[in-house]
């Protein structure tokens, strides 16, 4: 692992690191904020998964999360959204290929050799973080924005017992029924829609649910709300009687102005679960 940068931030350190990824078959870069408490021992972890077109950097510099995480003594992990580099398959459109990994393990050509973002986020990067930094990997929570909200929800429900809480900012909530989903799931996983189900938060909610608290925020003026389908997830939550708070925020769009406006709420929400006995 190589250190790209480390900057003093709210009493802690905001770092950027790169390493060779066995899962993705290429170098991968991630951001990690360690609060001041990490100098004295392991701290709980909040994962932030970013959306389409993003890298590790977008949320790291735009979401305003570090100050709230420092206040709660929580580490923040900012993974990249896809493999990158020479020899990694890509597409001309913004919503497929680099920057659009959708947090799945691709099985189809030309994506299969590198696009294994589920394994990267679920297995490889947590192992690396636990070995290299003062992190309490027994206390993890996860959040994300848009495509990253989709990833946060499906990882939380697909890895029972891993995360104490889950939240999402304008998550893609029902990708098997949306143009933000069907295109990518078909490209990465093939025509068998049965293989798509574990990557759809609405279907996962109906079939599995989440053993813990959930918080979802979506703006009423989100320009992509018809693609996100928050109402489908809300119906599944109600049918399952899942512990959840789902909010429509009046006047907010899909941007990081929206994300940063409610970041304090989300960090505090996760802190309550991470510090619960």
Q: Is the pLDDT of residue 135 over 80?
A: yes
Residue 93 appears among annotated catalytic residues: no
Predicted pLDDT of residue 2: 98
Show the domain range for 86.
2-275
Give the pLDDT mean for 139-157. 98
Give the separation between CA 135 and CA 149, rounded to whole angstroms.
23
Predicted pLDDT of residue 230: 98
Peptide bond into 141 cis (omega under 30): no
What is the number of domains present in the chain? 1
Residue 260 appears among annotated catalytic residues: no
Angle between helices 65-72 and 256-274 (to 10 degrees): 10
Give the pLDDT mean for 258-276. 98
Give the separation between CA 48 and CA 31, rounded to whole angstroms.
10
Options 82, 222, 266, 270, the catalytic residue: 222
Identify the CATH number of the domain in which residue 124 sits: 3.40.50.1820
Task: Name residue 46's beta-bridge partners.
Answer: 76, 141
Q: Is the pLDDT of residue 277 over 90?
A: no
Hunting for tokens 């078959």 — which residue is that?
Answer: 25
Is 0.75 surpassed by the pTM of this model?
yes
Q: Which long-range contacts (CB under 8 A, 24 or more apart) does 156-161 make?
A: 156/210, 156/212, 156/214, 157/201, 157/204, 157/205, 157/208, 157/209, 157/210, 158/122, 158/198, 158/204, 158/208, 159/122, 160/208, 160/211, 161/211
Give the pLDDT mean for 252-257. 98
Give the separation between CA 138 and CA 122, rounded to whole angstroms.
14
Q: Rounded mean pLDDT of the chain?
A: 98
According to DSSP, the β-strands at 12-21 and 26-34 are antiparallel
What the block records as the tokens of 43 is 């701290």
Options 199, 254, 266, 270, the catalytic residue: 254
Options 21, 50, 82, 146, the catalytic residue: 146
> Could you report the per-residue pLDDT of 1-30, keeping only the tens digit for each?
999 999 999 999 999 999 999 999 999 999
Give the separation between CA 117 and CA 146, rounded to whole angstroms.
16
* Residue 88 binned pLDDT confidence (cut-offs 50, 70, 90): very high
> Could you report the per-residue pLDDT of 159-191, keeping only the tens digit for each?
999 999 999 999 999 999 999 999 999 999 999
Give the pLDDT mean for 140-150. 98
Predicted pLDDT of residue 104: 98
Residue 226 appears among annotated catalytic residues: no
> Could you report the per-residue pLDDT of 30-82, keeping only the tens digit for each?
999 999 999 999 999 999 999 999 999 999 999 999 999 999 999 999 999 99
């Amino acid at each position: 692992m190589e250190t790209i940068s480390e900057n003093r931030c709210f009493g802690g350190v905001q770092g950027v690191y790169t390493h060779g990824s066995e899962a993705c078959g290429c170098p991968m870069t991630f951001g990690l904020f360690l609060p001041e408490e990490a100098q004295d021992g392991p701290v709980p972890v909040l994962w932030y998964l970013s959306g389409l077109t993003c890298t590790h950097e977008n949320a790291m510099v735009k979401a305003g999360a570090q100050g709230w995480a420092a206040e709660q003594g929580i580490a923040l992990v900012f993974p990249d959204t896809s493999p990158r580099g020479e020899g990694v398959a890509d597409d001309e459109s913004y919503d497929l290929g680099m920057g659009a990994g959708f947090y799945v393990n691709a099985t189809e050509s030309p994506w299969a050799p590198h696009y294994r973002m589920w394994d990267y986020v679920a297995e490889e990067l947590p192992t690396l973080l636990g070995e290299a930094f003062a992190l309490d990997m027994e206390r993890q929570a996860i959040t994300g924005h848009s495509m990253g909200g989709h990833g946060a929800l499906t990882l939380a429900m697909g890895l029972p017992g891993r995360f104490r809480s889950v939240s999402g900012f304008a998550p893609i909530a029902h990708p098997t029924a949306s143009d933000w989903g069907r295109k990518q799931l078909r490209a990465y996983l093939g025509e068998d829609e049965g293989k798509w189900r574990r990557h759809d938060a609405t279907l996962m909610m109906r079939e599995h649910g989440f053993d813990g608290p959930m918080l979802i925020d979506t703006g009423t003026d989100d320009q992509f709300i018809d693609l996100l389908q928050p109402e489908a997830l809300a119906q599944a939550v109600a049918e399952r009687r899942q512990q959840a708070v789902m909010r429509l925020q009046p006047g907010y769009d899909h941007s990081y102005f929206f994300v940063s406006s409610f970041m304090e709420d989300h960090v505090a929400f996760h802190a309550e679960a991470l510090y619960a006995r």
